[in-house]
Amino acid sequence: MNYISTRGQAPVLSFEDAVLAGLATDGGLYVPETLPQFSREEIASWSGLSYQELAFKVMSPFMAGEVPDDTLRELIDKAYSTFRHDAIAPLIQSGHNEFILELFQGPTLAFKDFALQFLGHLLDYVLKKRNQRVAIMGATSGDTGSAAIEGCRHSDNVDIFILHPYQRVSEVQRRQMTTVLEDNVFNIALKGNFDDCQNMVKASFSDQSFLPEGRQLVAVNSINWARIMAQIVYYFYAGLALGAPHRPVAFSVPTGNFGDIFAGYLASRMGLPIDQLVIGTNANDILHRCISANDHSLHQLVHSLSPSMDIMVSSNFERMLFDLYDRDGAALAALMADFKKTGNLQLSETALASARKLFTSYRLDDESMVAVIHDMWQKNGYLLDPHTAIGVAAARHTRRRLDIPMVCLATAHPAKFPEAVRKAGYQQDPPLPHHMADLFEREERYSVQPNEIASVQQYMAEHIRR
C-alpha cells in the first residue's frame, strides 16, 4: 500500500517509509492512498476474536505484506502483553445504552499506550532490519510523552526527546516521563504551552540540519500514521461487543489533536456502522466551534483541569479536511497556508455539511466537568478522569438516538488528575495502580529550556548518542 501527503507535493512512500518520515516534506501528513474495505459479512466473522487477533485483521491490510504476518502477530502480542486487563479495552455500562470503553489499562494509564506500545516494537523491527539509528522528537500535552518513552525506552536504535509545557502537565504525568532514567531518554520542559512544543517539533522536522550526520527525526505524535492505524482497532472491538455490524454504534471522544476521533472516522469508512461521532472539547474549543458554527479561528490557549486537551491547533484535523475537500492536495495546501497566515479557516458549505452527517460536538468548562465527575461517582460509584467526563457530557448533550449504543472513550486513569478529582468531592487522591505506587519517590531527570528552537536543537545535538 502506498502513502500520500495531504498537500499533494511530497513523494509517495511505502508503509515503512511513511512511519519513519512522520511529517511529509511538503508540510502535510501521510495517509493511505486507499482505505481497506471490510464487508458486513467479514466484520461479523470477527465476533469473539481476542483484541490481539482483531488487531491483526484490521492493521495488516495497511502494510500490504511489508511486515510479514508472523512478525506482525509477534509485534501485536508484545505490544499488548503489558496491559493490566485481559480484555485490553474493557467495556463498562454507565447508563441506559451508554458504555465506558476503558482505554487506560496500558502501562502508562492512557489511551496513547494502544498506539505507542505497538509503534515502539514496530520501530525496533524496522530499524534493526535497516541497521539504522534515529532520533525521536515529540511534543506532549501530558500522555503521549510517557507512552512514547515507555514504548521506546529499551530500543538500542532510538534516542527519544520529548517536549512538554513546563508546569502545565499534572505531576503524575510529568513524573511518568521524568523518572525514566535510561540513557536514550531525554525530557525537555519548554517554557511555553503545548502548541509551542508542537510548532517546534514541526519546524525541526522541516529542517533537520541540526542533527548529526546520518540521523533523521521520527515522529511519535499522532502525525505518525502508525499511531492512527493502531487506534482504529478499538472502535471495531467495542462495536463488535455491542452487536455490530448487525446494529449501528455511536462514539463520544474527548479530543484535542483530533487523532483519536479520526481513527473512529476511518473505522466508519472501512465498514463499521457508526451512526455518530461526538467531539468533546474543553475551553480550548476550536473543534467544537468549527463543527457547530464554522468558526475554526485561533483563540488564546486556556490552561484547564483537562490538560491533555489544552491544544488549539489540532494537527490531525488536516487529514479529515483532506477527505472533506475530495483529497485535493493543492486545495488543501492553499487552505492550510491561508490558515497559517490569518489564523482563521472556514469550511466550504459542502465540506461542513459532509462533516455534520457524522460529527456532532460539545464544549465543557472546568466547573461543569467537575460536576460530571461528582455526579457519576455519586450515582454509579465510578470515577472518571476529567477528559472522560467531558466525553460523557458531550455524549449526553448531543446524542441523536437512544436506541443506538453510545460508547464514551475513557482516555486516561483518574489517578493522573488528582486535582480535578478532589474538586469533584472525592476525599483523597485516587490511588495509582500497584506497578506505579512508588512514582512520587522515584528520581526525576529533565531539562528546562527556553521557548527558543535554537536552544532545544542545540540540547538535542549535544545529547544524541554517537
Strands 344-345 vs 296-297: parallel, antiparallel or unpaired? antiparallel
Evaluate whether 112 touches 118 at the Cβ level (below 8 Å).
no
Burial (CB count within 10 angstroms: exposed 0-12, middle 13-18, buried 19+), residue 429: middle
Is the residue at 197 inside a domain? no
Is the residue at 91 inside a domain? yes
The total of structural domains in the chain comes to 1
Range 305-329 average pLDDT: 94
Q: What are phi and psi of 452, to 5 degrees?
A: -135, 125
d(CA 22, CA 140): 16
Q: Give the model confidence (pLDDT) of 392-432 as tens digits.
A: 999 999 999 999 999 999 999 999 999 999 999 988 889 99
Range 334-350 average pLDDT: 96
Q: Give the model confidence (pLDDT) of 40-64 as tens digits.
A: 999 999 999 999 999 999 999 999 8
Residue 428 pLDDT: 86
Range 378-403 average pLDDT: 97
Specify the DSSP class assigned to residue 106. Answer: S
Is the residue at 321 inside a domain? yes
Q: 9-13, 159-163, 304-308, 364-368: lowest mean pLDDT where?
A: 304-308
Evaluate whether 113 touches 146 at the Cβ level (below 8 Å).
no
Q: Which domain holds residue 389?
A: 78-110+225-423
Cell 478532589 belongs to residue: 422
Is the residue at 217 inside a domain? no
Q: Considering only CA atoms, which of 159, 164, 212, 215 is closest in space to residue 182?
A: 159
pLDDT greater than 80 at residue 262: yes
Instruction: Record the pTM.
Output: 0.94
CB under 8 A, 24+ apart: contacts of 391-394: 391/252, 391/253, 391/254, 391/278, 391/280, 392/94, 392/98, 392/100, 392/252, 393/280, 393/362, 393/364, 393/368, 393/369, 394/252, 394/254, 394/278, 394/279, 394/280, 394/281, 394/361, 394/362, 394/364
Is the residue at 405 inside a domain? yes
pLDDT greater than 90 at residue 293: yes
Q: Which helix (H) or strand (E) holds 86?
A: none
Residue 166 pLDDT: 96
Range 167-172 average pLDDT: 92
Question: Which residue among the candidates 57, 78, 112, 202 is catalytic per the annotation?
Answer: 112
Is the residue at 462 inside a domain? no
Q: Considering only CA atoms, which of 24, 29, 35, 25 is closest in space to residue 1?
A: 35
Is the residue at 377 inside a domain? yes
Q: Considering only CA atoms, which of 283, 286, 287 is closest in space to residue 261?
A: 287
- CATH number for position 399: 3.40.50.1100
The pLDDT-based confidence of 436 (bands split at 50, 70, 90) is very high
416 is a catalytic site residue: no
Range 248-260 average pLDDT: 96
Evaluate whether 362 touches 393 at the Cβ level (below 8 Å).
yes
Evaluate whether 388 touches 410 at the Cβ level (below 8 Å).
yes
Cell 492536495 belongs to residue: 329
Average pLDDT, rounded, for the chain: 96
Range 68-92 average pLDDT: 97
Evaluate whether 78 touches 28 at the Cβ level (below 8 Å).
no
pLDDT greater than 80 at residue 142: no
Range 165-188 average pLDDT: 95
Specify the DSSP class assigned to residue 439. Answer: G
pLDDT greater than 80 at residue 294: yes
d(CA 125, CA 110): 24
Is the residue at 45 inside a domain? no
Strands 91-95 vs 134-139: parallel, antiparallel or unpaired? unpaired
Gyration radius of the chain's alpha carbons: 21
Residues 6+ apart with CB under 8 A from 329: 4, 5, 6, 7, 8, 9, 28, 322
The pLDDT-based confidence of 143 (bands split at 50, 70, 90) is confident
**Alpha-helical runs (H) found in 271-384:** 286-293, 317-324, 329-342, 349-358, 366-380
Q: 195-204, 276-285, 327-336: lowest mean pLDDT where?
A: 195-204
Percent of the chain with pLDDT over 90: 91
C-alpha cell at 416: 493522573
Range 373-389 average pLDDT: 97
